[in-house]
Amino acid sequence: MANAKHEDAVMKMGFDYFRNTILKTLGIDYQYEEIGPTELVELTIQSLYMDFTFLTTGGFYIHTEFQTTDKKEVLVALVNGFIWGIIAGLFTWGLYYDSPDGMKLGFTMFLAMMLNMLMGAIVAILVPITLKKLGRDPAMGGSVLLTFITDSGGFLIFLGLATYIFG
């Protein structure tokens, strides 16, 4: 999670640079002096949750929160899974080129990678929504659930596909 602090800093610098455009787009017509501290001491999941606090020239704070639960994440995951699946599948096939089942193993890796990325996108959409409906903070519990589901699910997907394809 070392990158989380860097992503937070980059997002805040970008928000600071485009502040007038972004705030007006959000319908906020106040000028602000600086970005204030967030309500959380440390943000850990920028892909699920990002918040900003602004100190306005009037002396009060404006707090905004962003959450990525966009349905197009599934389409991006399919394209991403297809591209990285091809790369991983070709690499696996290349490692086991001499084996009579090298091509099957490469195809298994391709399918597993694609399905795992698709599952990750679906879980990344459903976990924050579910946690919010249960009255929990998605930023605090989302990382654990997302990691657990994608890691264990990816392992089971690969082994299940290998069992099915290799019979």
pLDDT in tens, 61-75: 666 665 555 566 677
Q: Residue 75, Cβ neighbours under 10 Å: how many?
A: 12
Who contacts 106 (Cβ-Cβ below 8 Å, separation ≥6)?
89, 90, 91, 92, 93, 94, 96
Who contacts 103 (Cβ-Cβ below 8 Å, separation ≥6)?
93
What is the pTM assigned to this prediction? Answer: 0.57
pLDDT in tens, 151-166: 899 999 999 999 999 9
With 0-12 CB in 10 A as exposed, 13-18 as middle and 19+ as buried, what is 86? middle
